[in-house]
Homo-oligomer: A and B are copies of this chain.
């Protein structure tokens, strides 16, 4: 039988279900020698197709798994059927009925190396247009590999313009399955520690961290802003006795930065908690959460890590237990020793952060560490000053492979001191009145931090552009797809 049934699903679906006549579909990853000589049904994409005389070889794909399939003129298939199969466009979705056969020689090019399918019936479920905007095999080719062999690779804009196809590659599938894992590990670890998940508003009446870099929204007859972080709201939850909270959600930065690590919209993994005696209790909670994420990825996502490494080789991610914590002044000393000139209260430039990452890796053999006690002058107004040295603050950044992934601090929990610091930063008090008022009715000492999800994924995997770890990235020049 040879029917083109792109729309069978909704045309005849109901009756098929009622009659119970529908076949069970197997998954590609379950096609192993145990299924040899069984007649099975499968739905998959046509990954490649190659006709050769009276035969047509197909590779059928489901996500990161694929299997070789064969239509050959004989008892079960006519010449027309072979021709039909050979003409099915790449990336079309097909249903096939096929006999599973063990093969003598491993099929190195497929994930299912020990079997192939002998197709008896084939139906087109959804046909792809014949010209694809990019080829999947080009999109997974390692940088450099293409050039040497004169083969094509795909540039980033072509990938992102055609993201739906680019996301089908084994590399993309692995990246975003791992990203899903990071979120789950983050939440599960914090839930076990007694944190409560909160949902904070993204449309806000005043810029949360001063007026710069904020997107404006028309809000009925007035204007509003998009939250640059859940900062003020997660602190208000602490004042509201939730004790330890986390949230996962979009944050928006109207920065005209066209770099490998900036997005205008990214996913923030945010933490805030009351502590008992010292803000290092907060650092310990966050670093332990990160370590649980690193361990979870290492132990449960090894296939995904190796898949990404095939296209983008990198060293395994190293971390220490307990996490290394350096003070800002130590970092400045290390950098000066390496020839960098900088003032005591200067912030770290991006190149200096990277250099410091290399120095720390050499000295301590870790890709993850905390830098504590930043100069007060370079931190937001709500940062708690260091009680023993007012030039510094109880604040910290965390780094992966020499790039910042988290910024955090003990926060000021006294309305009067907060007012003073806001005035010092020339912030309009009227605009943050609700925030400051939150601290007037008893507020526990607390601290927290915000983590960039895309950066964590990029740096853990040793990738070099944050757009690779954002499904549909937004930057000053990209709003689509």
Contact A479 B205 (CB under 8 A): yes
Q: Does A48 contact B (CB under 8 A)?
A: no
Q: Does A302 contact B (CB under 8 A)?
A: no
Contacts of A241 in B (CB 8 A): 45, 62-63, 167-168, 173
Binds B, one of A79-87, A305-313, A434-442: A434-442
Contact A43 B276 (CB under 8 A): yes
- Give the one of A205, A278, A442 with max B CB within 10 A: A442
A123 CB, nearest partner CB in chain B, Å:
13
Contact B236 A481 (CB under 8 A): yes
A226 CB contact (under 8 Å) in B7, B217, B470: B217
- In residues 1-25 of chain A, which contact B (Cβ within 8 Å)? 6-7, 9-14, 16-17, 22, 25
- In residues 124-181 of chain A, which contact B (Cβ within 8 Å)? 125-129, 132, 163-165, 167-168, 172-173, 176-177, 179-180
A480 CB contact (under 8 Å) in B197, B205, B481: B205
Q: Does A360 contact B (CB under 8 A)?
A: no
Contact B164 A441 (CB under 8 A): yes
Contacts of A256 in B (CB 8 A): 220
Contact B13 A278 (CB under 8 A): yes
A191 CB, nearest partner CB in chain B, Å:
7
Contacts of A202 in B (CB 8 A): 202, 250, 252, 265
Mask, A446-481, CB within 8 Å of B = 1, is 000000010000000000000000111010100111
Contacts of A17 in B (CB 8 A): 277-278, 280
Q: Does A101 contact B (CB under 8 A)?
A: no
Chain B, residue nearest A89 (CB): B442
A421 CB, nearest partner CB in chain B, Å:
13
Taken together, the copies of this chain in the complex come to 2
Q: Does A237 contact B (CB under 8 A)?
A: yes
Q: Does A410 contact B (CB under 8 A)?
A: yes
Contacts of A180 in B (CB 8 A): 196-198
Contact A184 B176 (CB under 8 A): no
Contact B176 A242 (CB under 8 A): yes
Q: Does A200 contact B (CB under 8 A)?
A: yes
Mask, A391-419, CB within 8 Å of B = 1, is 00010000000000000001001100000
Q: Does A349 contact B (CB under 8 A)?
A: no
Contacts of A11 in B (CB 8 A): 387
A198 CB contact (under 8 Å) in B128, B176, B199, B248: B176
- In residues 305-364 of chain A, which contact B (Cβ within 8 Å)? none
A476 CB contact (under 8 Å) in B91, B218, B220: B220
A47 CB, nearest partner CB in chain B, Å:
11
Q: A176-B198, A216-B218, A249-B250 are in contact. Are A445 and B9 (CB under 8 A)?
A: yes
A442 CB contact (under 8 Å) in B10, B127, B453: B127
- In residues 240-267 of chain A, which contact B (Cβ within 8 Å)? 240-243, 248-250, 252, 254, 256, 264-265, 267
Q: A10-B445, A163-B240 are in contact. Are A203 and B453 (CB under 8 A)?
A: no
- Give the one of A267, A384, A434 with max B CB within 10 A: A434
Contact B384 A441 (CB under 8 A): no
A431 CB, nearest partner CB in chain B, Å:
10
A394 CB contact (under 8 Å) in B10, B219, B280: B10
A436 CB, nearest partner CB in chain B, Å:
11
Q: Does A296 contact B (CB under 8 A)?
A: no
Q: Does A201 contact B (CB under 8 A)?
A: yes
A205 CB, nearest partner CB in chain B, Å:
4
Q: Does A379 contact B (CB under 8 A)?
A: no
Report, nearest first, the 7 A-B pairs whose CB atoms are least far apart: A434-B481, A167-B240, A128-B442, A205-B479, A180-B197, A9-B445, A128-B441
Mark A residues whose CB is within 8 Å of B.
Answer: 6-7, 9-14, 16-17, 22, 25, 43, 45, 62-63, 91-93, 125-129, 132, 163-165, 167-168, 172-173, 176-177, 179-180, 183-184, 187, 191, 196-205, 215-220, 222, 224, 226, 233, 236-237, 239-243, 248-250, 252, 254, 256, 264-265, 267, 276-280, 384, 387-388, 394, 410, 413-414, 434-435, 437-438, 440-445, 453, 470-472, 474, 476, 479-481
Known interface pairs A14-B387, A45-B241; 19 further A-B residue pairs with C-beta atoms within 8 A, sorted by A's residue number? A9-B278, A10-B387, A10-B445, A43-B444, A91-B441, A92-B442, A93-B442, A125-B444, A126-B413, A126-B443, A128-B442, A163-B240, A168-B240, A172-B240, A173-B241, A176-B196, A180-B198, A202-B202, A215-B218
